[in-house]
Amino acid sequence: MDLVRFCEQFIRPHQELVRVNYFSAIQKSRGKQDRQDLFLSANKLNPKFHLFLGKFLEKIIEHNGQKIKTFEEKETDVHIAVQMIRDIVLDQCDISILISADSDLIPPIDFINEIKPKHKIFVYFPPSRFSYDLKQKATNYITLHNHELKFKSSLFPDEITLPNGYVLKKPEKWQ
């Protein structure tokens, strides 16, 4: 999915999308990592797309008496918080749009509202995700499950050629 194209569909004619900040961590499983690399490589072709990476830390959990190795994403919400505050302090935007349902992002929203009360923060909740607490802090909000056509019109073509000539091909799982 072309994230810049997706976000541009929500922008009004008198507005300009300055940048899309995307926060993630590199997947640990090889298949997921390969698909994530395709997704990120395609999006990085757009100069408005900016990538911020956290990391996954190994975590052992116990389930039904068995120890299971899993991974926990770290630093992502901190990167989001810092970047949101940075954009406000450096006067980089008039409106912040947060696509998340993570209530851990309430403290930076509270801080932004304290230092710049007129700054607008819109929260777009991903499909099947919602936070009542986050909704309460937002200037406005939408739920993205109502925007299937915007998702579909933001899909990349089946093949994308990188500037070096390498061709990215849509994985079978995404067909």
pLDDT digits (tens, 9 = 90+) for 34-55: 889 999 999 999 999 999 998 8
pLDDT at 71: 82
- Spatial CA neighbour of 175 closest among 162, 147, 150, 156: 156
Q: What domains does the chain contain, in order, with CATH numbers?
A: 3-174 (3.40.50)
- Spatial CA neighbour of 96 closest among 1, 19, 170: 19
User: Mean per-residue pLDDT for 5-31?
Assistant: 92
Percent of the chain with pLDDT over 90: 74
Using alpha carbons, list the distances in angstroms from residue 52 to 25, 55, 63, 76, 175.
8, 10, 32, 8, 27
As separate numbers, helices (DSSP H) first and strands (DSSP E) second, the chain gives: 6, 9
Tokens (6 digits) for 73 = 């994403």
**Is the model's pLDDT at 59 over the cut of 90?**
no
